[in-house]
Amino acid sequence: MKLNYKLQGNGPAIIFMHGVFGSLDNLNMLAKNLLSNYQIVQVDMRNHGFSPWSDVMNYQVMAEDIAQLCHNLGLQDVILIGHSMGGKVALQLTQIIPDIIQQIVAIDIAPIQYPIATNALVLNALTQVVSQSITDKKQIISIMKNNELTDATIQFLLKSFKNGQWLFNVDVIVKQYQHLCDWQMISPWLKPTLFVKGGNSNYITAKDYDEIYLQFPNAKIETVIGAGHNVHAEKTAQVLQILQHWLCHQS
């Protein structure tokens, strides 16, 4: 699948991959800071943004999408930075194009299986909105609040609601969500891998460390105090400091 992407800058290539219900602009606060020293590739994952839609959505096919993009752009020696779903895609890519990946940063995600109930409230709210063909933003917000979504989550979702349409494929994401929560253990990848954890998030907990180190023996785990799952947006300065130190130390 040919993904929609934005390409800027010169230097070593960094590919940014967003989480579920997001788009290529979601990690822009990190990308723009690194633009002066790197070639930045920001990607709309399949069924998101302006990339094509498909009934198939799992980590193997999403990783293959990114591998195809790397091939099409002639990228070598790439750095992968992914948040949540995008982080899992980055980790899966070690099984497809291991030789061209130099390092990985996975933001608030671990190589484990998550309970499907993790985003149940979001899935329920979006299903109600789409099944009733609601396009009025005030009604959408009302339904989301009735489903106990936070204001921050609502605003995040509405970034992908343009001209009365969702830019992500609600039906397929809901149907395939089990695959997004799933994870099949992969062969160990020995290159540097950084896991950035939100201190207030439960996406990476101490009980997950064994699985991380088993699959990524040279992993480092950094915790950003006071941040939730969207750690890059909530504590941008701290995440950038961690990233810059990591990239400098690994180069």
Q: Which of 18, 48, 83, 229 is catalytic?
A: 229
Q: What is the rounded CA–CA span in Å between residue 75 and residue 92?
A: 18
Q: What letters, b where the CB count within 10 A reaches 16 and e where it falls short, cover 162-188?
A: eeeebbbbbebbbebbebbbebeeeee
Give the pairing of strands 13-17 and 39-43: parallel
Catalytic residue status for 201: no
Q: Which of 18, 48, 51, 84 is catalytic?
A: 84
Catalytic residue status for 131: no
Give me the active site residues, please. Answer: 84, 229
